[in-house]
């Protein structure tokens, strides 16, 4: 990174020297006791100061995203922990296999799909076209819904796929129940990630962290109540994911409504024909 910055500053130095010498006579530009090199040194110092904030800006954007994804994966760890309390090795294995299927075909899909939203929304935010941001958000939601329909057969036939790969039949059946019941919560989780990318494009990444950081604690309570107290077992764990993600989604939207630019973007309705173009 330092070599790259040095190369940029070297090229900048040549541009500055050439621009200064070619644009106006030196006597008109320089004060008594100054040289062209003095002017360049001042400009170079300003460039260095600006570049010094580069890593700080990256950290401010990346840290909330890191925390959010950590908290999302922590929910799956909680699922395993709660199922482990049931004392059934096959159910524990089923949740492990189910999480693998969910992460590969579900989480991996929506992370890649939602990442494209950041590119378009960032450009629209830079141009202050907030209504277009709302159009991109709806297009992302529609694309996400279509993608979930496309991957549904993988979840529906997950038991057969696992058995064909030589996995235990009973564990494969439990895994099927877990993944099928997990789909609604996974869909909301995908929309949460979509809006996280959307908010980050507005420079408000810390809001997503504020909402997601409480998710594991809520999820732990729901899992214990449904899976252990209500004795719903593996289905209760999946339903707990749905309840947790629904609450976090509602809380995150309440934070979004406090941003004026986002409120303007959210004025775009689902039925706007631009969403389908």
Residue 221 has pLDDT above 90, yes or no: yes
Residue 43 has pLDDT above 80, yes or no: no
Return d(Cα 68, Cα 211) in angstroms, integer: 9
pLDDT in tens, 229-240: 999 999 999 999
Per-residue confidence (pLDDT) for residue 128, from 0 to 100: 85
Average pLDDT over residues 57-67: 80
Torsion of CA 170, 174, 166, 156, to 10 degrees: 130
From residue 187, alpha-carbon distances to 61, 142, 181 in Å are 25, 12, 11
Residue 26 has pLDDT above 80, yes or no: no
Give helix then strand counts, H and E, for the chain.
13, 0
Average pLDDT over residues 41-54: 52
Per-residue confidence (pLDDT) for residue 30, from 0 to 100: 43
The whole-chain average pLDDT of the chain stands at 82
Query: Do 191 and 141 meet the contact criterion of CB atoms below 8 Å apart?
Result: yes
Neighbours of 136 (CB within 10 A): 25
Residue matched to tokens 């075909």: 105
Query: Do 212 and 188 meet the contact criterion of CB atoms below 8 Å apart?
Result: no
Out of 15-29, 100-114, 151-165, pick the least confident.
15-29
Give a three-class secondary structure readout of 156-173. Answer: HCHHHHHHHCCCCHHHHH
Return d(Cα 250, Cα 261) in angstroms, integer: 19
Per-residue confidence (pLDDT) for residue 123, from 0 to 100: 87
As given in the structure block, the two tokens for residue 24 are 């106006």
pLDDT in tens, 107-122: 999 998 888 887 888 8
**What's the chain's Rg over C-alpha atoms?**
26
Return d(Cα 163, Cα 170) in angstroms, integer: 9
Average pLDDT over residues 81-89: 90
Is-above-0.75 flag for pTM? yes
Confidence of residue 38 (pLDDT cuts 50, 70, 90): very low
As given in the structure block, the two tokens for residue 184 are 């609604």
Return d(Cα 31, Cα 13) in angstroms, integer: 20
DSSP string, 6-65: HHHHHHHHHHHHHHHHHHS-HHHHPPTT--HHHHHHHHHHHHHHHHHTHHHHHHHHHHHH
The distance of Cα 275 from the centroid of its chain, to the nearest Å, equals: 21
Pick the more confident residue, 60 or 210. 210
Per-residue confidence (pLDDT) for residue 171, from 0 to 100: 94
pLDDT in tens, 125-160: 888 888 999 999 999 999 999 999 999 999 999 999
């Amino acid at each position: 990174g330092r070599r790259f910055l040095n190369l940029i500053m070297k090229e900048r130095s040549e541009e500055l020297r050439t621009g200064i010498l070619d644009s106006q006579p030196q006597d008109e530009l320089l004060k008594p006791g100054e040289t062209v090199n003095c002017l360049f040194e001042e400009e170079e110092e300003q460039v260095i100061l600006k570049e010094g904030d580069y890593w700080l800006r990256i950290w401010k954007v990346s840290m909330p995203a890191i925390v959010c994804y950590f908290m999302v994966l922590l929910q799956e760890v909680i699922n395993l922990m709660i199922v482990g309390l049931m004392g059934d090795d096959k159910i524990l294995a089923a949740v492990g296999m189910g999480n693998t299927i969910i992460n590969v075909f579900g989480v991996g899909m929506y992370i890649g799909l939602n990442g494209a939203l950041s590119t378009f929304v960032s450009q629209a935010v830079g141009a202050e076209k907030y209504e277009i941001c709302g159009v991109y958000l709806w297009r992302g939601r529609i694309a996400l819904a279509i993608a979930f329909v496309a991957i549904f057969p993988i979840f529906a036939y997950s038991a057969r796929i696992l058995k064909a790969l030589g996995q235990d039949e009973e564990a494969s059946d439990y895994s099927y129940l877990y993944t099928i019941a997990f789909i609604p919560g996974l869909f909301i989780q995908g929309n949460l990630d979509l809006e996280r990318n959307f908010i980050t494009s507005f420079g408000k990444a810390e809001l997503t962290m504020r909402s997601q950081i409480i998710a594991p604690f809520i999820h732990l309570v729901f899992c214990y109540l449904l899976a252990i107290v209500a004795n719903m077992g593996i289905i209760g764990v999946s339903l707990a994911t749905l309840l947790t993600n629904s609450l976090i989604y509602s809380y995150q939207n309440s934070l979004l409504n406090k941003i004026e630019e986002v409120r303007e973007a959210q004025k775009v309705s689902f039925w706007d024909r631009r969403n389908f173009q």
